[in-house]
Amino acid sequence: MSSSVTAYSDIPRSEDFLGHPKGVFVCFFTEMWERFSFYGMKALLLLYLLKHHGFDDDAGYDLIGAYGGLVYAVPVIGGLLADRWLGMRKAVVLGGILLCLGHLGMAVEGDQARMVNGVMVRDAGALQVFYGSLALIIMGVGFLKPNISTIVGKLYAEDDPRRDSGFTLFYAGINVGGLFAGLICAFLGETYGWRYGFGAAGVGMLAGLAMFLWGQKYLHGHAEPRDPGALRARVAGISREWWIYLGSFAGVAVVWQLIQTTRAVHWSMHVVAALFFAWFLWYVIARCTREQRQQMMALLVSILGVLVFFTLYEQTYGSWLTFTDRLMTKDMFPSLVSDASGTLPWSIWLMAGSPILIVMALRASDAGQRGFARALVALWVVAMAVACFRDVVLVPQTAGSLTFLGSFFVVLLSPIFAWLWPWLEKRGANPSKPLKSAIGLLFAALSFLPLLAAAQTVGPNAMASVWWLVLAYFLLEVGEMCLSPIGLSAVTQLSVAKVVGLMMGGFWLATAYSEVLAASFGKLASIEIPEGGAIDVVDAAGRYAHLFQLMLWIGIGSAVVFLVITPLLKRWMHGVK
């Protein structure tokens, strides 16, 4: 470990801010901006492919499935490289630079696709820039995502009672970024032009990178390489550090080509899944004791539950998005909405001002002006509430901007569930991990009921009410709150210590696989758009209803299976809660 690292006991509590190390707030705002850029781009991606580049639904779903799969698979590599050699600071900076380049590249629209003599003509050059930008984003997330959260963990001692609440605070940053991503990026992209939405995502990532670099002094060296000598060591005349950088850009080139052949990505996911299962079976049979074998089996079942949940969840950026765009009203309070022309979300000014406010707050805290520092944070929270209210109620919504509902309900429900689980624990009624999985899967399934009802209200002159979507998101996020304690904590608690890294990789690969599955299911509701642009709304509603009903039964079936095997899984867990 680098000699510049400050021991936990040597970090004075006077350096704390609102009861936590100041480095946590640096990570909070870095991750907030990274998730803002990521989810802002994701809210626009499918609509951009369909409306600007003239993809049909099948091709659009295939591409977002391949993109989502790679986005969750590559962090396995980025995390291993950072842990072994690069260190988290350098990994986050590398990831941030790649993300900035990728998001800004997405702002290059090129000419809109058009039909000529029955053939779709696309801007080939702009499409290559687009694919290259996706590759940069995939590799950037691979280096940034797994490492920024690791830094948070290193700012606390293992036995620090503030540790869990620190991660809760960090998780809030993710969802604040996701909330405003839809309200800003998606709104700008769909209202003023795709380049403005993607450009806003790029500017957001620049702000996050700047915040991380500025706040290094608050991380006390815990993000530095574990063995600087090994990082400087030369291999074939070049330092290992530069080999990693060169390898990351070579990876961008590989992904650039791979993302254009989505079938190859999907098949590679199938192969990886088969290889993982083969290794897992060999390991539990040949290398585990009876207790270890049962705990590993319980872990595998938990990971499969997470896979099913996110297969349902990721419909939000696929079939839910296109259904909303084509067959739903958008405004929750239409009588209060102003004309879209000349309207800008207040959230833009809030997000632009947030780095200034947090820097001022941390500096005021450094100077001992704690009251002023707290007042600045309170001002930011109030401004966030006002901007969110105004941009939801008074500003016209789009299909993409309504993706804010997911993060909105997480922010709303998190304090409730943070209170609920300890309250149930004190009364001996806190559900076990398997039971929480069953409850989470059930609510994810039930989220498709409102959309099924919405599809049945669509007619030749009638669109479904957006309130069906609001209810669907509410039920889905209740499910996420139940299932969110399961995944990563189960890996660390149930895995054999020697293979915890491999099992963590298996968890992220399962999440990646869920993206591919979600896209494959989404294609069941693919709509063929005629050249004139008008669709048969009744036929389209029927296709969506079929998909939503299938998702409903898959979720209910999975929930029932988990409910039935809960007693068995609890025995296999051997006391792990």
pLDDT in tens, 302-313: 999 999 999 999
pLDDT of residue 576: 81
Q: Which of 192-206, 475-489, 546-560 has the lowest mean pLDDT?
A: 475-489
State mean pLDDT over 6-10: 50
State mean pLDDT over 190-202: 93
pLDDT of residue 341: 53
Strands (E) in 194-304, as ranges, are 234-235, 238-239
Q: Which residue has the higher pLDDT, 18 or 571?
A: 571
Distance CA 224, CA 88 (A): 6
**Is residue 91 a contact partner of residue 520, using CB atoms and an 8 Å limit?**
no
pTM beyond 0.85: the answer is yes
Burial of 229 (0-12, 13-18, 19+ CB in 10 A): exposed
pLDDT in tens, 462-478: 999 999 999 999 999 99
Does position 213 have pLDDT exceeding 60, yes or no? yes
* Sign of the dihedral defined by the CA atoms of residues 168, 172, 173, 175, in that order: positive
Q: Which of 156-170, 184-198, 334-348, 417-431 has the highest mean pLDDT?
A: 184-198
State mean pLDDT over 154-158: 77
Q: What is the mean pLDDT of the chain?
A: 89
Which residue type sits at 289?
T
Helix (H) or strand (E) run with residue 120 in it: strand 119-121
The full DSSP string for 51-119 is: HTS---HHHHHHHHHHHHHHHHHTHHHHHHHIIIII-HHHHHHHHHHHHHHHHHHTT---SPPEEETTE
State mean pLDDT over 198-223: 89
Distance CA 490, CA 499 (A): 13
Tell me how far the alpha carbon of residue 554 is from its chain's centroid.
Answer: 23
How many CB atoms are located within 10 Å of the residue 524 CB? 15
Distance CA 210, CA 352 (A): 13
Give me the half-sphere count of Cα atoms (radius 13 Å) on the Cβ side of residue 114.
5
Does position 489 have pLDDT exceeding 80, yes or no? no
Which residue type sits at 568?
L
**Is residue 110 a contact partner of residue 125, using CB atoms and an 8 Å limit?**
yes
Does position 251 have pLDDT exceeding 90, yes or no? yes
* Sign of the dihedral defined by the CA atoms of residues 260, 264, 267, 272, in that order: negative
Instruction: Using pLDDT thresholds of 50, 70 and 90, give the confidence band for residue 1.
Output: very low
Q: Which residue has the higher pLDDT, 263 or 488?
A: 263
pLDDT of residue 286: 93
* Sign of the dihedral defined by the CA atoms of residues 143, 147, 149, 155, in that order: negative
Does position 4 have pLDDT exceeding 60, yes or no? no
Instruction: Using pLDDT thresholds of 50, 70 and 90, give the confidence band for residue 342.
Output: low
Closest CA to 146 of 488, 400, 406: 488
pLDDT in tens, 505-552: 788 888 889 999 999 999 999 998 876 667 889 999 999 999 999 999
pLDDT of residue 165: 73
Q: Which of 410-419, 468-477, 497-506 has the highest mean pLDDT?
A: 468-477
pLDDT in tens, 39-86: 999 999 999 999 999 999 999 999 999 999 999 888 888 878 887 888
Distance CA 500, CA 48 (A): 39
> Dihedral of the CA atoms 422, 483, 46, 57 (nearest 10)?
-150
The three-state (H, E, C) secondary structure of 160-224, written as one string? CCCHHHHHHHHHHHHHHHHHHHHHHHHHHHHHCCHHHHHHHHHHHHHHHHHHHHHHHHHHCCCCC
pLDDT in tens, 159-193: 777 776 777 778 777 889 999 999 999 999 999 99
Does position 6 have pLDDT exceeding 60, yes or no? no
Distance CA 143, CA 74 (A): 8
Length of the chain, please? 577
Which residue type sits at 420?
L
Q: Which of 114-118, 419-423, 471-475 has the highest mean pLDDT?
A: 471-475
